[in-house]
Each structure stands twice: as C-alpha cells, then as structure tokens.
Amino acid sequence: MAVLEELREAVLTGDKDRAVEVTRLGLETSIDPQALIDDAMIPAMDEVGRRFEEEEYFVPELLLSARAMKAALELIRPLLADTGASSRGCIVIGTVKGDLHDIGKNLVSAMFEGAGFEVVDLGSDVSPEAFVAAAREKSADLVGLSALLTVTMPSMKSTIEALEAAGLRDRVKVLVGGAPLSTDYAVEIKADAYAPNATAAVRAAQELVGGRAPCR
Amino acid sequence: MKGRTRVLSLLDGRPLDRLPLMPITMMFAADQIGVPYGRYATDHRVLVRGQIETARRFDFDHVSAISDPCREAADLGAAIEYYPDQPPAVVESKALLGEARQLARLECPDPTSAPRMADRIAALSLLRQEVGGDLLIEGWVEGPCALAANLRGINALMLDVVDEPGFVRDLCAFCVELALLFARAQVEAGADLIGIGDAAASLVGPARYEELVFPEEQRLIEGIHALGARTRLHICGRTRRLLRQLARLGTDILDLDWMVPIEEARAACGPEQVLLGNIDPVALLRGGTPAGVREGLGDCHAAAGGRYIVGAGCEVVRDTPLPNLLAMVEYARAHGGRAGPGSHP
Ligand code: B12
C-alpha cells in the first residue's frame, strides 16, 4: 500500500529516481506489477493531467511525470511479458501531414506505453500513406492521429479515407486528438473516438481495443 | 490620421481619431496576393507586396516583416525544412544544440550578411521606401525562449528548464545577444517597432518564467528601447498565470492570445499598459460571423478600457472569411481611441 502511494507521489512530482527506486522495492516485496501501473502510475498521470488543465502544472511538469513513469515501466515491462499479460494491443500514432506540433502527441504516446500498449510513434508531419503502411505492416489495432492546427485537421480526414481505401478500416480503430478538435469533428470524419487529453486517450484506447495482440 | 501617427499617438498618450488596428497576418497576406507561402517567407519583395496590399485592403495601421520563427535559427546553422506553401520549420530531430555543451561554440552571425536575417532587413528597407511615414513599420525578432526552443528542440528545452537551469539561462542570454543585433539592423533599416514573438514562454509556467525567461525578455525590451524603437510582445498560448510578470516588462504593447481574459490583464497591468487583442482567431474570426466578431471585440474593448489596439489573439489564419475580417476593420473605424488611461470606452 505504502509502495503504491509512494510511487504515485513520485510520478506526480516527476521524480524519476524515486519512481525507479520505489518500483524496485515494490517488485522485491512481490507486489503485482500490473497494480503498480493501474493503481499508482495511471492515477498519478490522471492527476497530472488535471493539474495541467487547472494551470497548476505546465509542460515541463507533464514531461517530467511522463519521464518518471517511463523509467519505472522499464523495470515492470519484462515482468509483464513473463506473466503473459504483455501487450494490450498495438498502436500506431503520429501528428498528421503538415503539422509539426508534437509535444501533446509525445505525451499521449508515453501514456499509451505506460498503460501497456505497444506503440509505434511515426513522429510529426506524417502522410496518410505512411500511416497506412505502418498500420498494415505492424497489424495495428488502433491508429492515433494528432492535429493542433485548424488547417491540418482535414489531413485527419484524408488519413481515415486512406485507411478505408487500403481496406484496413474494419481492422483498425481510429482515435483523434489535439486542441482544436471536438467529438463533433471526430464523428464528422468518421473516427471512432476523440479524447481531449492523455489520460482520456488511454481510457478511450482501452475501451476500443483493450486486450489485443502486440505489434507484428 | 495616418496609421503610423495613429499608433504612435496612442503609445505616446496623444489624442487619436479611432482605435488602432494591428492584426498579425502572414499566410493570410500571402493568400491575398495569390503567392505560395514558401515564396512569401523567403523573398522580401513578395512579403512587402503582400503586407502593403493587405494593409491597404483592410485599412491596417501597420505593416510587418514577421514570417516564421526560423530566420535566426537558420542563420545560426540549424536544420530547417522549407515547404512550398507553409512556413519554414526547424527540424527538431536534428537540433543544432543536440548537446548542451555545443552552446559554447555558437557565435552570433552578422544579421546584415546572414541570408535569412538579411532578407528581413531588406524587407524593412523596402517597406520604409514604399510606406514609410504612412503606416507603422514593424520588425520582428524571436524572443529568448522561442529561439532557445528552436536551437535546442522544444521537447528537450522543456526538460532542461528543470534539469539544467544554468544552461537555459546561458542559452537565453545568447539568444538575446543575437536578438539585439538583429533588432538594431532592423531599426536602422526602417522599423518603428520591433515585435517579439516568444511562443514557448507560455509553456514553462510562472516560476520558471520568472527565473529564466523574464530577466532576458526584460533585457531585450530595454535594449530595443535604447535603439529608439518601440516593442510589441506576443506570447502565443496561455499566459494568464504570467500576467503579473508581463506587467513589469515595460513592453509598449502587450499582445495577448485569446485564452487570456483581458480584464485580468488590465487589472494586473494597470491603466497605462497598451493592450492588444484578443478574439479567438480560429473559432471566432475564422469560424464565426461578422456579428460575432463585432460582439467579441466589443467585449475585449470594454474589458481593456482605454489604451487598446484592435487585433486577434494570434495570427489571422488562412481562409478567414473576408466579411469577418471586415467586421474587425469596421469595429476599429467606428470606435474612438482613448489615448489616456480610461476606465470604459
Ligand atoms: C509549442 C507551439 C508551437 C511550436 C511546436 C513545437 C513542437 N515540437 O511541438 C512551434 C513554434 C513549432 C509552433 C509552430 C506553429 N504554430 Co504553434 N503553438 C504552440 C503552442 C504554444 C503550444 C502547443 C502545445 O504543445 N501544447 C501543450 C500540449 C501538452 O497540449 P496539446 O498539444 O493540446 O496536447 C494535449 C491534447 O490536445 C491531447 N492530444 C494531443 N494529441 C493527441 C493525439 C491523440 C490521438 C489524442 C487522443 C489526444 C491528443 O493530449 C495532449 C495532452 O493532454 C500553441 C498554443 C497553445 N498554448 O496551445 C500554439 C498553436 C497550436 N500554434 C498555432 C500556429 C498557428 C502555429 C503556426 C502556423 C505559426 C506560424 N505561422 O508559424 C506554426 C505551424 C507549424 C506547423 N506546420 O505545425 C496555433 C494554432 C491555431 C489553430 N487552431 O489553427 C496555436 C493554438 C497558437 C494560437 N493561439 O494561434 N507552434
């Protein structure tokens, strides 16, 4: 119990060294590794997201917390592979064509990893063709699209159409996000879901594709 | 009253005939003259034509040499990607300062001979020749945090502010050295005012802003004043929590993004500060109606009281419907400016 609370605190304050230390301690005392993620890290990142919305936290704090979480995960991941509960599915993510904003996308990507998904991050300014190629090659369960510019939102639509044209649309779910987006827009372009922030993105991904196979 | 006189009258507290109008246009201006943005950003003659044409069509009080955040970074040797119809952008994966210690080897180029900075300086000379005295001529430099982000990579810089504050301080100081050299050359070429864009500063939060960015922005503003020019500070994004500090910077114009309630800015800055802005450029100016634009500006104006300049929270985006922009123009035309500190219009 104390371990979970301490890990939560370490991630919340972005203290990487402490997060690693507490995780090691937890694993030695044979706490369920999955509980470290579900009951400490995810709730911590939820709170980080909330503080960001409230303008108590800013981008450095977001990145520090994500870094602390990732460092702790390095220790946990091999153990999850042992128990067979390895991946929860394969996600291909990127910022769409014409758009270079990647801070938010990087966070979402880190959170997906945190939640146990395997993530293929294609970076920013990613063409519809590149999304299609990666989704096919990795046999992705979900494609995450990020856009921060109003003028690049149509690239999301063309990416979804390209997935359709490639015959992949019934096999991959599409999750969209980025500051100028909305649920209405997601519906309009036939995405499966929209999430306003990184923790909501994890929840949406779990609902859409939780428990699938890792990337190929 | 000519645009230049109008803006300077407001800044100097003299009477003026109507509210000054100074929205930021870049891609919108290139579209006005039907030239792909890649050429607008890289050929000063195109930029000048776009700015003058746009200012004439919409009765703006100023013309500006702003185009993209990469001019300084490009001339320092950063990897830049050029696009046919978009602003050039730094390639973050090949950041110039991939290693922090590379800063020690960085030297300021001479802005008058470094290609991308010289192109902006040429734009200002040409603007002075074409519209000098009529319209206010605005030069542009990257602020310390924005340029630091362009050189180091914004994702890395955001961790550096916590891990290596000393490095960030040195880097921002270097950025201000260059900004001041660049500003001097622009003022000599004809700029009346230097705009400072410091987008990344909105991301670090008040404590780190105060410690690392504020002193350098202040030094930059003082340095530009010493050159005999005015300043306009524009920080994209959420700066609500920075207002107390922004109030102390001494910038002639504080240009606010739409997420910042103007009444809070007025309360924090006091009656003397000239405020500019700040309707939502995307949801309202591009996506709304002329009536909505008028109403939005009315709210901003009422909240700002006197010493107010009409504009959007950020760049007027591409594809903004003309009737909406014209509603903004009409708003400025229809309202008397207040030179002195005022409570309500
Ligand atoms: C940093 C920044 C930049 C940096 C980007 C550096 C980088 N590597 O990312 C630079 C300087 C390069 C830049 C350039 C430009 N920018 Co900019 N930029 C910003 C700024 C200040 C912050 C964005 C940010 O990182 N926020 C923090 C992160 C954590 O939030 P987020 O991205 O929203 O992500 C969260 C959610 O949206 C969600 N999410 C994000 N992605 C995804 C994906 C999925 C799948 C899901 C589910 C969720 C999700 O989760 C995240 C975490 O909670 C914003 C203003 C602002 N404060 O919002 C402007 C802003 C986004 N930029 C803007 C503009 C116009 C530009 C330029 C066109 C300016 C110009 N003329 O040069 C260029 C365009 C370059 C290009 N082609 O992309 C406008 C966009 C307006 C619009 N709606 O169209 C903004 C809003 C500024 C403004 N007020 O006008 N910019």
- Give the domain CATH number at B125: 3.20.20.210
Q: Tell me how far apart the alpha carbons of residues B197 and B26 are, in angstroms, rounded to a whole number.
A: 14
Cα-Cα-Cα-Cα dihedral sign, residues B76, B77, B80, B86: positive
Instruction: Assess whether A123 and A147 both reside in one domain.
Output: yes
Amino acid making up residue B279: I
Number of domains present in the structure of chain A: 2
> pLDDT category, B340, cuts 50, 70, 90?
low
Instruction: Assess whether A43 and A139 both reside in one domain.
Output: no
B187 close to B125: Cβ distance less than 8 angstroms: no
> pLDDT category, A56, cuts 50, 70, 90?
very high
> pLDDT category, A82, cuts 50, 70, 90?
low
Contacting residues for A80 by C-beta, under 8 A, at least 6 apart = A33, A34, A86, A116
**Strand order through the sheet with A193-194:** A118-121, A90-95, A142-146, A173-177, A193-194
- Does position B163 have pLDDT exceeding 60, yes or no? yes
* Distance set, CA B92 to CA B68, B72, B168, B178 (Å): 15, 15, 17, 20
Query: Hey, are the CB atoms on B238 and A55 less than 8 Å from each other?
Result: yes
- Does position B332 have pLDDT exceeding 90, yes or no? yes
Of the partner residues A57, A98, A150, the one whose CB lies closest to the CB of residue B286: A150
Domain boundary residue, one of A83, A112, A143: A83
Instruction: Assess whether A79 and A49 both reside in one domain.
Output: yes
| Residue A146 Cβ contacting ligand 1 at under 6 Å | yes
| Residue A143 Cβ contacting ligand 1 at under 6 Å | no
- Does position A164 have pLDDT exceeding 60, yes or no? yes
β-pair partners for A94: A145
Number of domains present in the structure of chain B: 1
Instruction: Assess whether A78 and A97 both reside in one domain.
Output: no
Instruction: Assess whether A192 and A108 both reside in one domain.
Output: yes
- Report if residue B345 sits inside a domain: no
> pLDDT category, B269, cuts 50, 70, 90?
very high
- SS3 call for B1: coil
Instruction: Assess whether A117 and A173 both reside in one domain.
Output: yes
- What's the average model confidence in pLDDT over B317-325? 95
| Residue A105 Cβ contacting ligand 1 at under 6 Å | yes
Q: What is the pLDDT of residue B286?
A: 93
Domain boundary residue, one of A38, A54, A83: A83
- Does position B342 have pLDDT exceeding 70, yes or no? no
Q: Which residue has the higher pLDDT, A114 or B52?
A: B52
Distance, first Cα to last Cα, chain A: 37
- For residue A197, cis peptide bond before it (omega within 30 degrees of 0): no
Q: What is the pLDDT of residue A74?
A: 86
B45 close to B56: Cβ distance less than 8 angstroms: no
Give residue-wise pLDDT tens across range B198-245: 999 999 999 999 999 999 999 999 999 999 999 999 999 999 999 999
- Report if residue B342 sits inside a domain: no
For the entire predicted model, the pTM comes to 0.91
Instruction: Assess whether A62 and A101 both reside in one domain.
Output: no
Q: Tell me how far apart the alpha carbons of residues B283 and B46 are, in angstroms, rounded to a whole number.
A: 29
- What's the average model confidence in pLDDT over A82-97? 80
- Report if residue A94 sits inside a domain: yes
- Report if residue A156 sits inside a domain: yes
Q: What is the pLDDT of residue A79?
A: 79
Instruction: Assess whether A41 and A132 both reside in one domain.
Output: no
A102 vs B: CB within 8 A: yes
- Report if residue A216 sits inside a domain: no
- Does position A28 have pLDDT exceeding 60, yes or no? yes
The CATH number covering residue A126 comes to 3.40.50.280
- What's the average model confidence in pLDDT over B290-308? 96
- Report if residue B341 sits inside a domain: no
Domain boundary residue, one of A83, A110, A128: A83
- Report if residue A172 sits inside a domain: yes
- Report if residue A215 sits inside a domain: no
Q: Tell me how far apart the alpha carbons of residues A8 and A159 are, in angstroms, rounded to a whole number.
A: 37
B192 close to B227: Cβ distance less than 8 angstroms: no
β-pair partners for B311: B278
B203 vs A: CB within 8 A: yes
Instruction: Assess whether A78 and A94 both reside in one domain.
Output: no
> pLDDT category, B338, cuts 50, 70, 90?
low
Give residue-wise pLDDT tens across range A112-137: 887 778 999 999 999 999 999 999 99
- Report if residue B340 sits inside a domain: no
Query: Hey, are the CB atoms on A103 and B93 less than 8 Å from each other?
Result: no
- Does position B344 have pLDDT exceeding 50, yes or no? no
- Find the domain containing A155 and state its range: 90-209
Instruction: Assess whether A76 and A138 both reside in one domain.
Output: no
CB neighbours (10 Å) of residue B74?
21
A17 vs B: CB within 8 A: no
Q: How many CB pairs under 8 A join A and B?
A: 46
Query: Hey, are the CB atoms on B205 and A123 less than 8 Å from each other?
Result: no
| Residue B50: HSE in the Cβ half-sphere, 13 Å Cα cutoff | 29
Q: What is the mean pLDDT of chain B?
A: 95
- Report if residue B235 sits inside a domain: yes
Q: What percent of chain B has pLDDT over 70?
A: 97
| Residue A180 Cβ contacting ligand 1 at under 6 Å | yes
- SS3 call for A174: strand
- Report if residue B74 sits inside a domain: yes
- Report if residue A214 sits inside a domain: no
Instruction: Assess whether A61 and A120 both reside in one domain.
Output: no
The CATH number covering residue A65 comes to 1.10.1240.10
Q: Which residue has the higher pLDDT, A215 or A69?
A: A69
- Find the domain containing B293 and state its range: 3-239+248-334
- Report if residue A30 sits inside a domain: yes
- Report if residue B344 sits inside a domain: no
Instruction: Assess whether A78 and A104 both reside in one domain.
Output: no
- Report if residue B310 sits inside a domain: yes
ipTM score:
0.86
Atom of ligand 1 nearest to the CA of B146: 11
CA A149 – ligand 1 centroid, Å: 7
